[in-house]
């Protein structure tokens, strides 16, 4: 925006009034650009930034001037890399951006990305994430036959996946690190080196620090629905809250957040898994109000 005195003269304004008007417009432009916190999106299994163009448009239309960034890491087939490796690299990229954001930011995470974000919020001690919006993510684990599963394990049914996942080699695949077979819980707790750790189902030396880190968020938004078709059981996207021991014992802070009134759950029927980030009703009903 430039200060054009000739334009002011043409419409009959003296130079002082013109200067004041220019400053007012400049302040308004600055306010609009800074009114909304930036949004960082973490994609899911086999996804990448291109899948979130529609969601980005929704955000920028409803909240003009919002900076929206889909973190471009581990796209496509690379998304099966070990989750701790992904958390490490997403953390490096995210923290560099958060350090430039004094007012905080929102973290919007889809599917497997939600599990990654749970890890990020556990290990980042000084983060300034305001809202963590989990969009159809298997936060309580995954156990079901889906097309996604067949891409990774074409020869196995869900009842046999534990044989592949619950060992050191299997834990090199991201999906194995949140595979939660209720029929083999002893093996899940023994071998799974990600989900039981971040959900506090296993005692470890970082558990209190991770709880403190997670509780830095101001709002947890859990979104899912019965017609998802991929997240199985679909209630995993809501962390199956009060039925879980980790809620009752509050090991990672979920009960505290809930008692603070800082947990919001949004259930939407008729939404398939790949539609969550491009469905305008989901955005309006479940996401829009938290991105201020």
Q: Active-site residue 236, yes or no?
A: no
Catalytic residue, candidates 228, 236, 237, 277: 228
| Of 102, 59, 9, residue with least CA distance to 287 | 59
Q: Active-site residue 47, yes or no?
A: no
Maximum alpha-carbon separation in the chain: 81
Catalytic residue, candidates 111, 131, 134, 237: 111
Catalytic residue, candidates 134, 273, 277, 279: 273
Instruction: Return the active site residues.
Output: 111, 228, 273
């Amino acid at each position: 925006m430039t200060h054009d005195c000739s334009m002011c003269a043409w419409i009959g304004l003296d130079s002082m009034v013109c200067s004041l008007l220019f400053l007012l417009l400049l302040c308004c432009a600055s306010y609009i650009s800074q009114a909304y916190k930036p949004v960082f999106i973490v994609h899911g299994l086999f996804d990448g930034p291109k899948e979130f163009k529609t969601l980005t448009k929704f955000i920028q239309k409803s909240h003009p001037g919002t900076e929206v960034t889909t973190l471009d890491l581990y796209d496509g087939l690379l998304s099966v890399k070990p989750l701790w490796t992904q958390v490490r690299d997403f953390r490096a990229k995210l923290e560099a951006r958060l350090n430039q954001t004094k007012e905080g930011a929102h973290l919007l995470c889809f599917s497997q990305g939600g599990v990654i974000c749970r890890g990020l919020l556990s290990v980042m001690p000084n983060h300034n994430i305001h809202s963590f919006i989990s969009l159809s993510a298997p936060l309580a684990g995954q156990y079901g036959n889906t097309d996604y599963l067949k891409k990774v394990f074409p020869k196995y049914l869900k009842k046999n996946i534990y044989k592949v996942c619950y060992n050191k080699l299997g834990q090199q695949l991201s999906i194995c690190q949140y595979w939660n077979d209720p029929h083999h819980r002893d093996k899940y707790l023994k071998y799974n080196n990600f989900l039981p750790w971040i959900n506090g189902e296993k005692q470890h030396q970082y558990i209190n620090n991770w709880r403190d880190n997670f509780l830095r968020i101001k709002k947890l938004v859990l979104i899912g629905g019965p017609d998802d078709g991929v997240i199985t059981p679909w209630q995993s996207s809501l962390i199956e809250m009060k039925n879980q021991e980790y809620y009752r014992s509050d090991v990672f802070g979920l009960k505290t957040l809930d008692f603070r009134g800082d947990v919001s759950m949004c259930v939407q029927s008729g939404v398939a898994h790949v539609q969550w980030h491009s469905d305008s009703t989901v955005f309006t009903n479940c996401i829009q109000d938290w991105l201020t």
